[in-house]
Structure formats: C-alpha cells, structure tokens
C-alpha cells in the first residue's frame, strides 16, 4: 500500500529526467536577479520571449542550437517567458513541449514592468525579444533589444569566449 | 598617402555619427515634438495642429495584432473618454508594416476601429517616420504631449498602468497619475515609465 506514492514519485522523476524539457518553473524577480548575477566562468545567454511574440518565436531555434554548437564551452541558455502566468498551462507548457525546447525555460511572474525591467536592465525599453549575455568572472555584459541572425548571435557570444 | 589622410575626417565623422545613433533615440520628456500628417481611418489626413481646442494629446503607438495592445484597447478608449473632455484626446497611431503583419493593414485598422467603436483618431504611420521620430519601440507605447505656446512638448512617456493582463488588478495608473499633474499645470512627478509590448514591425530595409 505504501508503495504507491513511491512509484508515483519515481514515475514523476522519470518524466522530469530528460533535461529541462517540458518543465517550466514560475519565478519572481528576486530569483531572476539571482540568476542574472552569478559570478562564475559560465557565459549566460538569457533571452526574454513570449509565445505570442512572432520575432521571438522565430529566433528561439538560434538559442536552442547553442546547446549543441557551444556544448562544452560553458555557455548556458535560459529562456524567460514573459507570457502571463495564467497562460502557463494553456500556452507556455504546450509550446515548450511541442517545440521540444532543450534549454531551461522559466516564466517571470511579475505584473509591473516599470519595476522589474529597470532591475533586469536599465537599457531595456520594453520590447521583445530582449537578450542579456554575460559572464560574471569576466565582468562582461551586453544587452540586445532586437532579433538576432545566427551570425550575429554567434559573433556576440564568441566575444565572451575569447 | 594624401588621399588616404583626407579619408580620415570622413571616417571619423562616420564613427561619430554611428555612435550618436546608438544613443537614446527619439523624444525625451521636455522635448518639442514635430507635427505630423497621417491618414486617419476616415480617409482624411490628420495633424496635431488641426484641433485648435486641444491642450495636448495622448499619443499611443498601438496596433490591431499585439496581445498587449489588445489587452489595453478598452483602457485606451477609457483614457479618451476621460481626458478628451479635459482637452487631451487620444490619438492612436499604428506604425506596423502591413507587409510583415497583414492584420495591421489600413483595411484591418478600419475594421477594428469600427467593431470596437474607437472614439478617437486611428492613424496609419505608413512610412514609420513618426514612430522613429518619437522613438517608439513597441506597441502599446504612450506619449502625452502638451501645448506650450505655439509648441507641443512631451510631458510623459511610457506605460498606461502596472498590470497589462487584468485592469481590475491595477495598483498604479501611471498615465492617469501623470495626467493629474499635467492638468494641474505641473510637470508629471513620474514622467517616464517602462512597459512591455510587441516590437514595432519595421519595414525590411
């Protein structure tokens, strides 16, 4: 009888096992800020997007590709969905599943952009997509309020890997 | 060698110019705005100078297709209903390239305005020059401009309020706060705020 919850947990772990796929955690600003200030030798590529944002959706594969093209080069991609938290199960999770996104996906659950944007980056005017690339150990940081081409994105990331 | 040297000032100018364009583009609070002439959904051309009675305008770059613009649509109508009688009508400007977003064509703009009974002008920024001049980056992106003598000056730039998804959960109505100050003849205490939105769909160069 007691085995049931354990089996259930095990099954759950198995489902959650393949990377971050199909798991989207909902985070608040302090958690995001913590992630945006890690001081190690990994180059973080944080892309702010939304399922309704056509240019964002179009460039997502570029960020996804980094997981293979830059594997073993200490590059980590974080996709921050700006969809409303109410759309998590209806839109975001199905989207992540359908696209088979391998990068970690989180949903930023904050309502007042005037407060959180300034703290993410003062240069962010409010348009999506928005991308922050940084490396804590090298004290290097760059922000982009635009859609990338593959060449542009590789060039920008390579500047961090010198 | 001489020829090469004479290149340098030109090169320098180019570098300086490109640096300059990297700076804050568009209007800041306090800047004088240039008037425009854009086609309204009624087929007529409209300029800010046309309405002699206006003390200013609430200029909103918005569109038919962006979820944020749609979420704010009825709140933009309410802004017009509240502030037009006080001398600040809403002027909505659609800057999106219809070739990229067919849902933002002139015909679609007319249809949207008719079905939602827009009480304000809804203009098409066909060349996107007005959006560029203002420095608008997204929809919705709102500017309050106020008459100062013969000029129109930017009094507020930014967000409508602090909750795009649910008007009932709004805690701070940024534009209304600013309008209270502006109508009292004071500079807005919070004159610029940030808001999320959809990028303006620029024409492919």
pLDDT tens digit string along B102-123? Answer: 999 999 999 999 999 999 999 9
What share of chain B has pLDDT > 70, as a percent?
A: 88
Q: Residue A71 in contact with residue A105, Cβ under 8 Å?
A: no
Ordered domains of chain A (ranges, CATH) = 19-161 (3.40.30.10)
pLDDT of the residue at A4:
52
DSSP state of A55: H
Taking 50 as the threshold, does the pLDDT of residue B14 lie above it? no
- A82 contact residues in B (CB cutoff 8 A): 196
Q: Which of A47, A7, A28 lies closest to A134 in space, CA to CA?
A: A47
A112 vs B contacts (CB less than 8 Å)? 162-163, 171-172
Which of A126, A147, A148 is most worth mutating to test chain B (most B CB atoms within 10 A of its CB)? Answer: A126
pLDDT tens digits, B144-166 = 999 999 999 999 999 999 999 89
**Is the ipTM value over 0.90, yes or no?**
no
* Chain B interface mutation, best of A85, A107, A127, highest count of B Cβ atoms under 10 Å: A127
With pLDDT > 90 as the criterion, what percentage of chain A qualifies? 70
Of A129-133, B1-5, B46-50, B96-100, the poorest mean pLDDT is in: B1-5
**Sign of the alpha-carbon dihedral angle for B205, B199, B80, B150:** negative
Q: How far apart are CA B106 and CA B171, in angstroms?
A: 35
Spatial contact of B109 and B78, defined as CB atoms under 8 Å apart:
no
Using pLDDT thresholds of 50, 70 and 90, give the confidence band for residue A12.
very low
**A114 CB within 8 Å of a chain B CB:** yes
Q: How many CB pairs under 8 A join A and B?
A: 63
Q: What is the pLDDT at residue B11?
A: 46
Residue ranges of domains in chain B, CATH in brackets: 28-199 (3.40.30.10)
């Amino acid at each position: 009888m007691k085995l049931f919850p354990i089996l259930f947990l095990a099954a759950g772990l198995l489902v959650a096992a393949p990377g971050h796929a199909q798991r989207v955690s909902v985070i608040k600003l302090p958690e995001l800020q913590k992630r945006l200030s890690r001081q190690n030798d990994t180059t973080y590529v944080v892309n702010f997007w939304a399922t309704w944002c056509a240019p964002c959706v179009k460039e997502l594969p570029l960020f996804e590709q980094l997981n293979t093209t830059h594997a073993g080069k200490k590059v980590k991609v974080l996709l921050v969905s700006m969809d409303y938290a109410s759309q998590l199960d209806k839109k975001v999770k199905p989207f992540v599943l359908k696209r088979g996104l391998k990068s970690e996906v989180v949903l930023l659950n904050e309502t007042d952009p005037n407060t959180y944007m300034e703290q993410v980056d003062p240069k962010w005017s409010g348009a999506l997509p928005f991308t922050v690339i940084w490396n804590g150990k090298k004290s290097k940081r760059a922000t982009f309020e635009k859609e990338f081409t593959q060449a542009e994105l590789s060039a920008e990331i390579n500047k961090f890997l010198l | 060698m001489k020829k090469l040297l004479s290149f340098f000032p030109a090169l320098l100018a180019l570098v300086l110019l490109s640096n300059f364009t990297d700076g804050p583009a568009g209007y800041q609070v306090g800047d004088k705005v240039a008037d425009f002439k854009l086609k309204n959904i009624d087929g007529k051309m409209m300029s800010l100078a046309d309405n002699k009675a206006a003390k200013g305008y609430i200029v909103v770059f918005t569109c038919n297709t962006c979820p944020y613009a749609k979420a704010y649509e009825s709140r933009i109508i309410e802004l017009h209903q509240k502030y037009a009688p006080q001398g600040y009508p809403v002027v909505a400007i659609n800057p999106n390239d219809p070739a990229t977003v067919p849902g933002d064509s002139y015909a679609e703009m007319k249809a949207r305005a008719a079905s939602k009974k827009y009480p304000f002008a809804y203009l098409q920024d066909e060349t996107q020059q007005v959006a560029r001049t203002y420095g608008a980056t997204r929809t919705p992106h709102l500017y309050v401009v106020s008459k100062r003598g013969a000029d129109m000056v930017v009094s507020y730039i930014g967000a409508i309020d602090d909750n795009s998804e649910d008007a009932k959960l709004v805690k701070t109505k940024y534009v209304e706060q600013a309008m209270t100050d502006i109508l009292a003849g004071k500079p807005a205490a919070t004159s610029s705020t940030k808001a999320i939105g959809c990028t303006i769909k620029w024409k492919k160069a």
